[in-house]
Amino acid sequence: MAKRRAAEPADKRPKARAAAFDKAAAKQRVKEIFAVLRRTYPEAKVALNFTNPLELLVATILSAQCTDVRVNIVTKELFKKYTSASGWAQADVKEIEEDIRSTGFFRNKAQNIKGACTRIAAEYDGRVPATMEELTALPGVGRKTANVVLGNAFGIPGIVCDTHVIRLSRRLALSDNSDPVKLEFDLADIVPKKDWTLFSHLLVFHGRNICKARKPNCPGCPIAACCPAAERPDRW
């Protein structure tokens, strides 16, 4: 009997080919796809329900590894119970854990929410700060969360590199980086600043509706003519 061939070390296995990156071409591609996607998804916006910056901050922390639909179900009652940063700060962390349990990773999320709100109450008079530096200094808040809050609660342009944005940016050859922070800066260099927030929403909507991870609908894609990965998304 022939011996079974040993699996190759992970670093020796063939890697999926990344789209060749050309900054000038990427910048032109952004112009073309932005116009089409904007017409295709006129309703594109953040999917999380909120009425103020604090609610959006909390909802975004809860959305990690959880669907926006589930978060919105949980926050419907949650935001009636906790109405201020001091309210969250004074709450027992175990009680917060139970309130958010269904969103997953509830212990870490409860600690982060309580920690962030404690600092907001103590250092910012209960108001969510509106700069990247201040937001990312809060417990549990990275650049992605900060950009969600800045772009959607304060109207300050921000690129949100979630899984959809990362995947589509690679397929569309808008960057050769898959690291969220590096990708954010790459996109910031080719997308007009005023469009950063909306561009992120458009890619998310397109990723959820057409350009899905496992089975993208290339024949039904309105930007297929601009996409280097059309009909062969598994290669990008």
Nearest to 70 by CA among 59, 58, 80: 59
Residues in contact with 72: Cβ distance below 8 Å, sequence separation at least 6, in sequence order? 47, 48, 49, 59
Residue 6: how many other CB atoms lie within 10 Å: 6
Is position 215 annotated as part of the catalytic site?
no
- With contact defined as beta carbons under 8 Å apart, do 198 and 38 qualify? yes
Residue 197, token pair as written in the block: 């927030």
The residue annotated as part of the active site, out of 99, 109, 114, 144, is 144
Helix, strand, coil fractions of the chain, as percent rounded to 5: 60, 0, 40
Residue 45, token pair as written in the block: 């916006």
Is position 11 annotated as part of the catalytic site?
no
The residue annotated as part of the active site, out of 68, 162, 176, 195, is 162
Which sequence positions are flagged as catalytic? 144, 162
